[in-house]
Amino acid sequence: MTPECTEIVEDVETWWREDGDLVVQTLDGERRTFLLGEIIAGAN
């Protein structure tokens, strides 16, 4: 998943970094992966 706009992930149970990316797990068990390299590049 790449950031095309600001995205809010609700009901976060936990998060961690995996292979340089950000993984967010919600309370219902859904995992969302965000590519940190692209998030950082998009912030500049």
Tell me whether residue 1 is in a domain.
Answer: no
Which residues form the domain of 34? 12-43
Number of domains making up the chain: 1
Q: Find how far residue 28's CA is from the centre of its chain.
A: 16
Q: For position 41, what pLDDT does the model report?
A: 57
Per-residue pLDDT tens over the stretch 3-44: 556 778 899 999 999 988 899 999 999 999 988 766 555 555
pTM, two decimal places: 0.66
Q: For position 8, what pLDDT does the model report?
A: 81
Tell me whether residue 2 is in a domain.
Answer: no
Tell me whether residue 3 is in a domain.
Answer: no
Q: For position 32, what pLDDT does the model report?
A: 92
* Exposure letters 18-30 (e unless 16+ CB within 10 A, then b): eeeeeebbeeeee
Q: Cβ(5)–Cβ(39) under 8 Å?
A: no
Q: For position 40, what pLDDT does the model report?
A: 56
